[in-house]
């Protein structure tokens, strides 16, 4: 069953076509002498503060950030559109796709004091680097879902999906594995690690699960009460919403909790590779890690940076 599910997901996932992302330009605060173009799957509402802090250190750098879902980062690198600008850095929580780019020879190596300070598990071949990590969670509406019914394990979620009163029918959401790289990754990991992945998938389908490609859209719908619960969601995004007053709760499943490693890659054809190297070193520096933790609510790779990240 696990192998069959993974094959189906891979087939469907491979049919997805890349789409344009939302682009935001951060003008250089001072006289411009450098440019950096980043394609990232991290929402701008989370990552914007990181870019602005980098520009405080490097006021001559203009940063162009394109908010792209993880699968499109991978697909657009391999099949760029005519006249499409080339990114200097790719940042994604879909570590499987990032690692594939590296293994297929599409990345530049980088060594520095900052990369050497990383834990051994947070980099591969000096070409893909973890900048943060975060738990994958169940997120629910604290005003709409009775606390006594909030599932703490996947078996409890399965029981809630099968409950006679069908409280989650049309009210549960998760990532669309056809369009979301992280959703695909989490689903395949569930299939490998979990013993009830097939049953859970069937129960979600029977409850008319709502599929979205972006974390922000899922959280918007849960916050508004359109959905009572979202499954396998990046915890940092939910924590940022909670800090802003959204009626959300986070559960890290007690049976097992998946962890997403958000990684950075400098493409082999990066037009501004020196600036990309400098930005990577900033992200891995104590200051950059603290900003990722404090402002973006991402759990830092370096323990000294502290922060709660997406946990709750």
Assign 21 a pLDDT band (cuts: 50, 70, 90). Answer: low
| More confident: 84 or 166 | 166
159/83: higher pLDDT: 159
State the pLDDT confidence band at 42, using cuts at 50, 70 and 90. confident
Quick: pLDDT tens for 98-121: 999 999 999 999 999 999 999 999
Question: What is the predicted pLDDT for the residue at 10?
Answer: 40
**Rounded mean pLDDT of the chain?**
89
What is the model's pLDDT at position 310?
Answer: 36
Residue with tokens 């569930």: 190
pLDDT in tens, 127-152: 999 999 889 999 999 999 999 999 99
Asked if residue 9 has pLDDT above 50, the reply is no
Q: Could you give all domains of the chain from N- to C-terminal order, each with its CATH number?
A: 17-133+262-305 (3.40.190.10), 134-259 (3.40.190.10)
pLDDT tens-digit series, residues 178-205: 888 889 999 999 999 989 999 999 999 9
pLDDT, average across residues 159-164: 98
Q: How confident is the model at residue 6 (pLDDT cuts 50, 70, 90)?
A: very low
d(CA 302, CA 241): 24
pLDDT of amino acid 82: 67
**pLDDT per residue as tens digits for the range 268-311:** 999 999 999 999 999 999 999 999 998 888 889 987 655 544 33
Q: Check whether 19 has a pLDDT greater than 90.
A: no
The pLDDT score that the predictor gives to residue 306 is 55
């Amino acid at each position: 069953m696990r192998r069959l599910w993974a094959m189906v997901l891979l087939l469907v996932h491979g049919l997805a076509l890349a789409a344009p992302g939302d682009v935001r330009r951060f003008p250089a605060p001072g006289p411009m002498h450098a440019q950096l173009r980043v394609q990232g799957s991290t929402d701008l509402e989370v990552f914007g503060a990181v870019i602005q802090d980098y520009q405080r250190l490097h006021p001559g750098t203009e940063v162009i950030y394109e908010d792209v879902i993880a699968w499109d980062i991978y697909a657009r690198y391999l099949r760029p559109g005519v006249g499409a600008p080339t990114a200097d850095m790719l940042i994604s929580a879909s570590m499987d796709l990032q690692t594939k780019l590296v293994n297929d020879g599409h990345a530049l190596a980088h060594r520095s004091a900052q990369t050497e300070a990383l834990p051994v598990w947070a980099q591969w071949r000096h070409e893909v680097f973890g900048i943060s990590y975060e738990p994958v969670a169940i997120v629910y509406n604290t005003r709409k879902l009775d606390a006594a019914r909030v599932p703490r394990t996947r078996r409890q979620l399965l029981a809630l999906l099968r409950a006679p009163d069908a409280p989650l029918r049309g009210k549960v959401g998760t990532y669309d594995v056809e369009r979301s790289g992280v959703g695909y990754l989490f689903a395949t990991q569930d299939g490998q690690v979990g013993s009830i992945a097939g049953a859970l998938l069937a129960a979600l389908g029977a409850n008319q699960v709502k599929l979205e490609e972006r974390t922000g859209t899922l959280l918007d719908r849960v916050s508004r009460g359109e959905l009572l619960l979202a499954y396998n969601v990046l915890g940092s995004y939910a924590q940022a919403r909670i800090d802003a007053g959204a009626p959300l709760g986070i559960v890290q499943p007690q049976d097992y909790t998946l962890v997403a490693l958000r990684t950075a890659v400098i493409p082999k054809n990066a037009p501004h590779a020196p600036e990309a190297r400098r930005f990577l070193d900033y992200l891995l520096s104590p200051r950059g890690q603290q900003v990722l933790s404090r402002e973006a609510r991402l759990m830092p790779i370096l323990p000294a940076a502290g922060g709660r990240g997406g946990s709750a």
